[in-house]
């Protein structure tokens, strides 16, 4: 365990970075005297996806966050005195290397709750192409996995460490954003077979009889977008 801890500290020294640009969603946070650090390591990028559509799987579109061409922000949220979610820190997604997110603690010298309380569970949101995702609770194993091995935690502690192992957000709301922001994945398809072609609503289309904007889904679940005249 000591080896893991020292490796994580080395990671922080070399890769920690906080976003200097503002997200396209209306997020803001207060920098206080205390914070925790949440790591997003490059070795886990293949476990972090955005998906949309309906089941079964072949009616479904998904893409890795790291292959998305539009800016993506990851925000961490706490609950304020009124029971509303408030941003407690954010960072722009870095698809080229490991990065980290600061979660800011409550300032005890102010009357209002303006950050995380100790042991408060992390709640995450994504901001993609100006659209804010729903809340993703750290305990929701269907959408996120965080390490709870010492020294990591899925809840806030002053000077604590978090480590996101996987992240998956799915919603029909994001379908158009995935298509608009997704890199043309034809270059990744290799020898994959084309499984089906669908429109923006996930309906299968006959390419010989239809024209317009289409999404091609390959056997390895990568997608490409095309416009047929």
Eight-state DSSP code of residue 69: -
No. of H helices and E strands in the chain?
Answer: 3, 14
Eight-state DSSP code of residue 171: -
Q: What average pLDDT does the segment 60-69 reach?
A: 78
Mean pLDDT (the chain) is 78
pLDDT beyond 70 at 225: no
| Six-digit token string for 115 | 């950050």
pLDDT beyond 80 at 182: no
Q: Could you tell me which residue, 106 or 183, shows the higher pLDDT?
A: 106
User: CA 123 to CA 90: how far, in whole Å?
Assistant: 12
- Sorted by sequence, the CB contacts under 8 Å of residue 108 that are 6+ apart come out as none
- Which residue, 51, 94, 88, 42, is CA-closest to 72? 94
pLDDT confidence of residue 70? 79
pLDDT beyond 90 at 159: yes
Phi, psi for 228 (deg, rounded to 5): -105, 120
In this structure, are residues 163 and 151 in contact, taking their beta carbons and an 8 Å threshold? no
How far, rounded to the nearest angstrom, does the alpha carbon of residue 205 sit from its chain's CA centroid? Answer: 30
Q: What is the pLDDT of residues 66-119, one digit of tens each?
A: 888 778 899 999 999 999 999 999 999 998 899 999 999 999 999 999 999 999
Split at pLDDT 50, 70, 90, the class of 37 is very high
CB atoms within 10 A of CB 201: 11
Phi, psi for 7 (deg, rounded to 5): -65, -40
pLDDT beyond 70 at 57: no
Pairing of strands 48-53, 161-170: parallel
In this structure, are residues 34 and 158 in contact, taking their beta carbons and an 8 Å threshold? yes
Q: What average pLDDT does the segment 133-150 reach?
A: 91
pLDDT confidence of residue 51? 76
Residue 202 falls in which region: left (phi positive, over 0), alpha (psi -120 to 50) or beta: left
- Which residue, 119, 135, 152, is CA-closest to 87? 135
Phi, psi for 30 (deg, rounded to 5): -105, 125
User: CA 78 to CA 102: how far, in whole Å?
Assistant: 13
pLDDT confidence of residue 161? 96
Q: What is the pLDDT of residues 38-54, one digit of tens each?
A: 999 999 999 998 877 55
- Which residue, 191, 129, 185, 117, is CA-closest to 155? 117
Eight-state DSSP code of residue 121: B
Q: Could you tell me which residue, 122 or 129, shows the higher pLDDT?
A: 122
Split at pLDDT 50, 70, 90, the class of 170 is confident
pLDDT confidence of residue 62? 73
Q: Could you tell me which residue, 8 or 171, shows the higher pLDDT?
A: 171
The DSSP code sequence of 27-54 is: ------S-EEEEEE-GGGGGGEEEEEE-
pLDDT confidence of residue 172? 61
């Amino acid at each position: 365990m000591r080896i893991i801890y020292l490796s994580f500290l080395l990671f922080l020294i070399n890769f920690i970075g906080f976003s200097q640009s503002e997200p396209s969603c209306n997020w803001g946070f207060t920098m206080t005297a205390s914070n925790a650090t949440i790591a997003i390591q490059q070795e886990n990028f293949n476990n972090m996806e955005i998906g949309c559509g309906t089941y079964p799987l072949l009616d479904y579109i998904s893409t890795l966050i790291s292959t998305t061409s539009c800016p993506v922000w990851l925000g961490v949220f706490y609950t304020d005195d009124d029971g509303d979610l408030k941003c407690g820190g954010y960072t722009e997604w870095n698809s080229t290397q490991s990065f980290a997110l600061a979660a800011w603690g409550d300032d005890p010298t102010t009357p209002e709750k303006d950050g995380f309380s100790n042991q408060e569970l992390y709640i995450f949101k994504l901001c993609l192409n100006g659209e804010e995702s729903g809340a993703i609770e750290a305990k929701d194993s269907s959408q996120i996995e965080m390490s709870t091995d010492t020294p990591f935690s899925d809840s806030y502690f002053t000077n604590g460490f978090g480590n996101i192992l996987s992240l998956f957000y799915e919603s029909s709301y994001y379908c158009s954003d995935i298509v608009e922001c997704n890199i043309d994945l034809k270059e990744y398809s290799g020898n994959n077979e084309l499984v089906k072609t669908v429109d923006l609503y996930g309906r299968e289309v006959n390419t010989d009889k239809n024209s317009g904007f289409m999404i091609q889904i390959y056997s390895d679940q990568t997608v490409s977008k095309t416009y047929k005249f």
